[in-house]
Amino acid sequence: MSSHAQDVLPSTPILVTEGLRRDFSQPADFIDRIGRTLRRRGAPLPVQAVAGVDLEVFHREVLAIVGESGCGKTTLGRMLTGIIPPTAGRVLYRGSDVTHMRGAERRAYELGVQMIFQDPFSSLNPRMRVRDIVGEAPVVHGLVSRAERDDYVCELLQKVGLDPDYRERYPHQFSGGQRQRIGVARALALKPDIIVCDEAVAALDVSIQAQVLNLFMDLRRDFDLTYVFISHNLGVVSHISDRVAIMYLGRIVELAPTEQVFADAAHPYTQALLKELPVLSAGKRQFDPIVGELPSPADPPPGCTFHPRCPLAMARCRVERPMLREVSDSHWSACHLNDGMGPTGAQRNGAGTEVATLSPYVEPEKNSTEAA
Ligand code: SF4
């Protein structure tokens, strides 16, 4: 697990999100519209894919964002790269709000934050040769001249472990691991600061996953890169990440240095994810899978959204949403069980504001609780 540790500690945030939120409206079909008219209900409520995320990404770190399918991690990654705009909140790149960027500043952001997608096949144009997939964008953006393009592509292919002679081939002539390397070369060609990797190794065989992860780490050293690594698999990110953010139903529920997440997870959801990790041991092992399904983001549970599945849920959990609270140095958790922990009592409310006061909540009487 310690192989990810770097000699350079993160210091400057180059990407910051403040109260980032993204809603998607649900299109109502004909039957739904009639039913809603008869029942005098209005339009369906929007789905909150990302429900308020405050996060910093530091220079040269690998920040992993981990959660089940449907938790909003891909939508968050797409907002970081500017592929989709937020419904509310803002993304700051090198201190400037990206929604107000124009001209050269906007271009620097768009080139500086690149994304690598999960499916290495569908993310590459099947009609383009590798030479054009990798080399076209840097020419269009004036990073290299057309005359320099061929040498530039050869150099990048070598960097990602591909034979430069392959540049005349098409994507279907490569294996999954090779195609992902082409995707990496395409992202690198724009000389980014940050690469957002969305499940970038999930579609690959385990042995190829290890090779591609090693490649990511080599490139971080060679190109001074920062990664946001989105994955559903805590085991994968343990090898490469410096910090881990655990996402549940559109919110960050735990954020900590990787060692701390694995040694001393504070949130019951993180603890449950860790219990599900496969381990190599000779003895028998009892599995405690997380009970139930991820609730629909269209109708999230009240209070702590994890409470229907949490083995430690209390009455309070059903009515009050826990804030992300600093429970120890650089370790944040959103759980009522962590009340009173931490040196400062600092909290984040998912709306871009940090507050330093603890909640004045009072546990209700047992009977009134059951009613809630
Ligand atoms: Fe479980 Fe309550 Fe903590 Fe939510 S706030 S994780 S329901 S103990």
Task: List the chain domain ranges.
Answer: 2-27+44-268
- Beta-carbon contacts of residue 238 (< 8 Å; ≥ 6 apart): 1, 4, 258, 262
| CA torsion angle 150 154 159 163 (round to 10) | 150
Please give the residue that has the higher pLDDT: either 209 or 285: 209
Shortest-distance atom of ligand 1 to CA 312 = 8
What average pLDDT does the structure give for the chain? 85
pLDDT tier, 342 (very low <50, low <70, confident <90, very high otherwise): low
What is the biggest distance separating any 2 CA atoms in the chain, rounded to whole angstroms?
78
Going by C-alpha positions, the residue among 7, 20, 3 that lies closest to residue 351 is 20
Distance 340 CA to ligand 1 centre (A): 15
* Percent of the chain surpassing pLDDT 90: 63
pLDDT at 284 over 60: yes
2-27+44-268 CATH fold: Rossmann fold (3.40.50)
DSSP letters for 111-158? HHEEEE-S-TTTTS-TTS-HHHHHHHHHHHTTSS-TTTHHHHHHHHHH
Q: Which of 149-153, 204-208, 297-301, 351-355 has the lowest mean pLDDT?
A: 351-355
Cβ count within 10 A of residue 274: 15
| pLDDT given at position 276 | 81
Question: In the predicted model, is pLDDT for residue 123 greater than 90?
Answer: no
Instruction: Return the minimum-mean-pLDDT range out of 4-18, 158-172, 192-206.
Output: 4-18
Task: Kindly state if the Cβ of 313 falls inside 6 Å of ligand 1.
Answer: yes
Point out the ligand 1 atom lying closest to the alpha carbon of residue 304. 4
206-223 vs 176-188: helix axis angle to the nearest 10?
20
- Give the distance (Å) from ligand 1 centre to CA of residue 315: 10
Q: Which residues pair with 64 in a beta bridge?
A: 229, 244
CA-CA distances (angstroms) from residue 11 to 8, 15, 108, 184? Answer: 9, 12, 21, 25
Q: Would you place residue 369 in the very low, low, confident or very high pLDDT band (cuts 50, 70, 90)? A: very low
Q: For residue 298, what pLDDT is reported?
A: 84
312 lines ligand 1 (CB under 6 A): yes
Give how far Cα 37 sits from Cα of 46, 299, 305, 323, Å: 18, 20, 30, 38
Structure confidence at residue 120 (pLDDT) = 75
pLDDT at 236 over 90: no
**Confidence at 14, pLDDT banded by 50, 70, 90:** very high
Buried/exposed code over 4-22 (b: 16+ C-beta within 10 A; e: otherwise) = beeeeebeebbbbbbbbbb
29: left (phi over 0), alpha (psi -120 to 50) or beta: beta
Report whether residue 272 contacts ligand 1, using a CB cutoff of 6 Å.
Answer: no
pLDDT band, very low/low/confident/very high, at 341 (cuts 50, 70, 90): confident
Q: Quick check: 201 pLDDT over 90?
A: no
User: Distance from the CA of 62 to the center of ligand 1, in angstroms?
Assistant: 28
Record the pTM: 0.85
- 206 pLDDT band (50/70/90 cuts)? confident
**Ligand 1: does its nearest atom lie under 6 Å from the Cβ of 337?**
yes
DSSP-derived 3-state class of residue 26:
coil
